[in-house]
Amino acid sequence: MGTDEPQGATVYLIVGLPGAGKTTRAKELEVSASALRLTPDDWQMAIFPGDGPTGWQAAERVDQRDRIEGQLVQVGFRAAALGLNVVLDFGFWGRHERAALRWIASSRGVRAEVIYLPIEAEEQRRRTTSRFEAEPGQFQLSDAELKQWQQQFEAPDSDELAGAAIPPVPPGHATWSHWASERWPSLPLQ
């Protein structure tokens, strides 16, 4: 870490597919780093308890999840600005999501750390099935969904994990903040 790196609070971005152990790792960091843990699944299940294990798939829930995540990002960065470590346990499947949040952190003088938890497909299926059977109310995931998500997932490379420079904002967006406010509609421009 160079001397120009932000000091103080850290925002941990937990990256991985379902079943990779993201929430387990987030809970560990919650204790070891004295961090505020923000897990959208917990919020979604609490806000929409009647959805059951498949209600999350409805188009309206996808939009609502994005809004929940946007609010959690806003709360998380506010907490970090106040000096509290934060764990964003979202999965962050896309490079742009991670770059946008790393940019927001940097713009606020907060350190961001990407933590990646890889998982093999067979182990992922075993874990997600076991979790659904052991914990009523957990999201039910099909083999087709898991396969599709594995194909969509953009794993962080070693440079990103080491905190390399944030890439340029995608075309059509003035800043990473603009990109983030489109990705998470409830997140105001930073």
What's the pLDDT score for residue 140? 63
pLDDT tens per residue across span 45-54: 787 776 655 5
Q: Does the residue 138 lie in any domain?
A: yes
Residue 80 lies in a domain: yes
In a domain, 48, yes or no: yes
Total structural domains in the chain? 1
Give me the CATH number covering residue 37.
3.40.50.300
pLDDT for 151 equals: 87
Task: Assess if residue 156 is contained within a domain.
Answer: yes
Residue 3: inside a domain: no
pLDDT of residue 146: 74
Contact 12, 113 (CB under 8 A): yes
Give the Cα separation of 125 and 185 in Å (integer).
Answer: 31
Which residue positions in the chain have pLDDT lower than 50? 1-6
Domain that holds residue 40: 10-183
